[in-house]
Amino acid sequence: MNGRPPRLSPPQLVAGLVLPWLAYLIIRSVIGSPVGALAITDALPAAWLLVVGIVRRRIEPIAVLSAATVFIALTAYAITGGDPVAIKLRRGAVTGAIGVAALSSIALGRPLLLLVAQNAAKLNPDRPELAARLAEPRRRRMLRNLTAIIGSTFAIDGVSQIILALTVPTGMFVADSTGARIAVLGTGAVVTFQYLRNQKNRLDRAPHPTAESEQDR
């Protein structure tokens, strides 16, 4: 743990965005209902995350959030008499909520990624260097900026998905929302990668303490 969040490779990111769309097309061709296919496509990943968490005896917050939003969306769909907007809004609700939480954490002076890193350091008391790194102003600033970048990306994705949910017909929604999501999250991934690379270059150029100065400490 070095204070940086885990990064997905470009193939993993594209696969994670495109595979649900392909699954939607297959399911829709089988059942003949775009709304039903959308509901199943959204419910399956949430159910899978919960099953994996139960098997590993460690359910991640994202799995709980995903499952909760699916349940709320399906409940709203039933209550509204089958309005597909209730299901379509679910996509923007997940990333939008994460984005708002991240940006709010910065406004409150407690950046989300810094809190995650500090919690990880507490869970590894045998590695005191983790807490020492997080005490460095440079690393704290980096985690704050990363929280801002990721939070902004997710917030923009949430807003764009909600706009599409309210304006695009259900039959076109998955394709359009997938395209928008690739554009937004892809841009966010590029900005994040570029920022991390710049930070690494700065760290490499920074003067390192000499052996003599280390002994004098």
**How far apart are alpha carbons 171 and 21 in whole angstroms?**
12
Out of 52-61, 83-92, 188-197, pick the least confident: 52-61
The answer to whether the Cα torsion of 134, 137, 141, 142 is positive or negative is negative
Report pLDDT digits (tens) over 112-166. Answer: 998 888 887 787 777 777 777 788 888 889 999 999 999 999 999 999 999 999 9
Q: pTM of this prediction?
A: 0.75
Tell me, what amino acid is at 19? L
What's the confidence (pLDDT) of residue 210?
46
| DSSP 8-state secondary structure symbol assigned to residue 217 | -
**How far apart are alpha carbons 113 and 38 in whole angstroms?**
32
3-state helix, strand, coil in the chain (%, to 5): 80, 0, 20
- For the chain, the straight-line distance linking the first and the last C-alpha, in angstroms and rounded, comes to 25
Out of 1-15, 16-30, 53-67, pick the least confident: 1-15
154: left (phi over 0), alpha (psi -120 to 50) or beta: alpha
Distances (CA, A) of 198 to 109, 193, 204: 24, 9, 10
Q: How many residues does the structure list for the chain?
A: 217
**How far apart are alpha carbons 92 and 100 in whole angstroms?**
12
Contact 37, 31 (CB under 8 A): yes
Distances (CA, A) of 47 to 40, 59, 139: 10, 12, 36
Look at 51 and 88; give whichever has higher pLDDT: 88
What's the confidence (pLDDT) of residue 215?
43
What's the confidence (pLDDT) of residue 101?
93
Look at 62 and 217; give whichever has higher pLDDT: 62
Query: Could you tell me which residues come within 8 angstroms of residue 73 by beta carbon, excluding any fewer than 6 positions away?
Result: 39, 42, 86, 87, 89, 90, 93
Report pLDDT digits (tens) over 24-56. Answer: 888 888 888 888 888 888 788 777 777 877 888
Token output for 50: 């919960």
Tell me, what amino acid is at 63? A
Out of 5-19, 58-72, 89-103, pick the least confident: 5-19
Residue 5, pLDDT above cutoff 70: no
Tell me, what amino acid is at 142? M
**How far apart are alpha carbons 133 and 3 in whole angstroms?**
8
